[in-house]
């Protein structure tokens, strides 16, 4: 059973409360809104049929709690976020662009990140730092887009142009998935980490190449892009690695690409 959505459910609760002449609280919602939402969310999870113990089902609650304009001060939104500790922000523009899943990576967040760090370190100690770095790139790219709309992309610094291109790789080739394909319908943890490693490595080495360039031998993003077009295509094609081929074979391919990125920038610097 799935309940959708808590916003409309809370609005109905407000109407009933008003007709019962109960004392209204914030935005006309009843004072017990938070307690009702908490008891509502507590029902989510696995459930066992009393008459048939072998039959197990689940109760899922989809909370459409983000109001127009992203006003998180809305009573339903703030109460829900304080209970579930996780927010997935659906983005209409991403859905219109056929970007699946259409989750806004800047609005969405989880308060369980610190709690899960020991779990992630068991598999790969670099995962947490890689995730943080990718989030930083996406945040900077969002800020740069406002500048691009005003003065154009050509006015940006070379390092900013690299950030825009790497962010495009992250959005289109890492975050976007094709649920109807064998290679992309699910993504094992080791594949996720390897993809992040290659993308972040390319970004870091490209940024260093631009920073170390001198006035006599200035290195631009256009030069890097022309010299490494084939390598960028391989990076964007990482998602085509089918997990069914096995972790060992996939790790070999990803490690080869990782070393190829290092070698390409070393040769480029020479």
pLDDT in tens, 157-206: 999 999 999 999 999 999 999 888 989 888 999 999 999 999 999 999 99
- Helical (H) or strand (E) element with 15: helix 6-19
| Residues 118, 21 share a domain | no
In tens, the pLDDT along 68-90 reads 445 567 788 788 878 888 888 88
Any domain includes 96 = no
Q: Is residue 9 part of a domain?
A: yes
Domain shared by 129 and 261, yes or no: yes
Distance separating alpha carbons of residues 13 and 40, to the nearest angstrom: 12
Asked, for residue 98, whether it belongs to a domain, the answer is: no
Is residue 151 one of the residues assigned to a domain?
yes
Whether residues 131 and 253 share a domain: the answer is: yes
265 shares a domain with 219 = yes
Residue 144 domain boundaries: 114-269
Same domain membership, residue 251 and residue 126: yes
> Which residue(s) pair with 61 in the sheet?
3
Residue 103 maps to a domain: no
Res 65 pLDDT > 60: no
Does 248 fall in a domain?
yes
Among the residue ranges 18-22, 76-80, 144-148, the one predicted with the least confidence is 76-80
Q: Do 132 and 75 lie in a common domain?
A: no
Let me know whether 258 and 148 are in one domain: yes
Number of domains in the chain: 2
For residue 176, tell me if it sits in a domain.
yes
- Residues 169 and 235 placed together within one structural domain of the fold: yes
**Residues 137 and 245 occupy one common structural domain:** yes
* pTM of the predicted structure, to 2 decimals: 0.81
The rounded percent of the chain whose pLDDT value lies above 70 is 93
What is the pLDDT confidence band of residue 9, given thresholds at 50, 70 and 90?
confident
Q: Are residues 192 and 250 in the same domain?
A: yes
Q: Is the domain of 141 the same as that of 246?
A: yes
CA 186 – CA 189 distance, rounded (Å): 10
Residues 161 and 231 occupy one common structural domain:
yes
Q: Does residue 97 lie within any of the structural domains? A: no
User: Is the bond preceding residue 101 a cis peptide, omega within 30 degrees?
Assistant: yes
Give the span between the Cα atoms of 267 and 99, in whole angstroms: 36
**Of 65, 84, 103, which marks where a domain is finished?**
84
CB 40 within 8 A of CB 100: no
């Amino acid at each position: 059973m799935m309940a959708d959505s808590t916003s409309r459910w809370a609005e109905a609760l407000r109407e009933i409360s008003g007709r019962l002449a109960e004392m209204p609280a914030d935005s006309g919602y009843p004072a017990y809104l938070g307690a009702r939402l908490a008891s509502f969310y507590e029902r989510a999870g696995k459930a066992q049929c009393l008459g048939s113990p072998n039959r197990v089902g689940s109760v899922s609650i989809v909370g459409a709690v983000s109001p127009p304009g992203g006003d998180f001060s809305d009573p339903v939104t703030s109460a829900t976020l304080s209970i579930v500790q996780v927010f997935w922000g659906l983005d209409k523009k991403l859905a219109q662009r056929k970007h699946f899943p259409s989750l806004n990576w800047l609005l969405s967040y989880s308060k369980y990140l610190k709690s899960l760090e020991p779990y992630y370190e068991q598999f790969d100690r670099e995962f947490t730092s890689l995730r943080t770095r990718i989030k930083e790139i996406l945040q900077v790219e969002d800020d740069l887009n406002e500048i691009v709309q005003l003065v154009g992309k050509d006015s940006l610094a070379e390092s900013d142009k690299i950030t825009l291109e790497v962010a495009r790789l992250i959005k289109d080739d890492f975050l976007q998935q094709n649920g109807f394909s064998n290679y992309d319908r699910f993504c094992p943890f080791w594949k996720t980490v390897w993809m992040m490693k290659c993308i972040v490595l390319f970004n870091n080495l490209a940024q260093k190449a631009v920073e170390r360039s001198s006035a006599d031998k200035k290195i631009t993003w256009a030069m890097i892009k022309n010299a490494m077009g084939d390598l960028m295509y391989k990076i964007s094609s990482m998602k085509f690695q089918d997990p069914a081929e096995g972790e060992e074979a996939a790790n070999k391919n990803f490690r080869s690409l990782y070393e190829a990125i290092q070698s390409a920038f070393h040769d480029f610097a020479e």
